[in-house]
Structure 1
């Protein structure tokens, strides 16, 4: 699967499970290429039905479906991928539980962490926040040139994340990350229009 393009991450407030499938379909139809389900409070059992629906939607639209920090659920439903952060299991542990799919690792501003993830057979790494994030306001701000350093050091796809919207996405796109991830910039307001503007901003 091609790890490239606009990467949407769900949000418990902006995309509650009851409305998420309909919202996700709007985003996928407008051009989102990767969709990550992120829910830090519900149990795997509570999330399973909506994740199955999202996986099926992504297959219909030729997109990639990734689950955040739920390796057993990702394996059980045959999700395309799994994403983990610094407070989750290690990439080695993730691969032992979820051996077949895509594994992504949050690296914040650390090239060293990214190199370790690559060594552990991660499929992509994510860097950020690059701007103040309304979703994670306490996230540290990472210099944008981290993307250049990462490109020189790594041989796996790179994702940029954190506070990215249609007014600043061009600054990120100039560094040519493989994927650019957004949360509120996609889900607040008119989803299809938001996605269209973001994709236009990614185009040099």
Structure 2
């Protein structure tokens, strides 16, 4: 089951991936080798994105990639989304989510390895740490010591994802510490050639 949880993990952005172009943008990253795609929409209502969720999920399945919906637990359950990612506001109810939701479940653990161990015990499928570098998407995010990746790989048996300010220039610092997935927003979507940029990451991650 967990073999999918490796490689380039692209995350949508309300500004950088507008609804008019998001599908074509995502497809270019999938053509370039992205393995996981997360829809992170902080503005729309659940009803407004049902079609988009299903369209992205179908696109990901076509490329044998994993689709992940961010934060919207009820919608992920209702639409049988392949993946769901939750953050701090849902930590307290992970057991309840895991009982209702059968897909891939990921959790943001920021810089907290003890929390990640707790989440592993509660049967999440992967944990994410960060921000590791200054990020335009989350300018106020606390910077986490990059060595948490190495410690997490030593102490956890589930895959580890890194997020926050990652670029094709600094990603090697994470790879040398054994990270499984790198989640990228700005460095992908601001690129002039999405497919080529994804290919660069794929080469580095392979």
TM-score category (smaller protein): over 0.9
Q: Deviations over 1:70-100 (max 9, x none)?
A: 11111222211100000235321321332x1
What's the counterpart of residue 83 of structure 2? 81
Equivalent residue number for residue 144 of structure 2: 142
Asked whether 1:198 is paired with 2:201, we answer yes
Relative contact order: is structure 1 or structure 2 higher (C-alpha 8 Å, sep ≥ 6)? Answer: 2
Work out the CA distance in 1 between the residues paired with 2:173 and 2:203: 13
**Partner of residue 101, structure 1:** 103
Unaligned 5+ runs, structure 2: none
Shift of 1:134: 1.0
Shift of 1:178: 1.1
Tell me the TM-score normalized by structure 1. Answer: 0.95
> Are residues 1:159 and 2:161 paired?
yes
1:111 aligned residue: 113
RMSD, aligned CA = 1.2
Residue 25 of structure 1 corresponds to: 27
Partner of 2:88: helix, strand, or coil?
A: coil
Maintained 8 Å contact 2:32/2:202: no
Q: How many residues are treated as equivalent by the alignment?
A: 202
After superposing on structure 2, the runs of 4+ consecutive aligned residues of structure 1 that deviate more than 3 Å are none
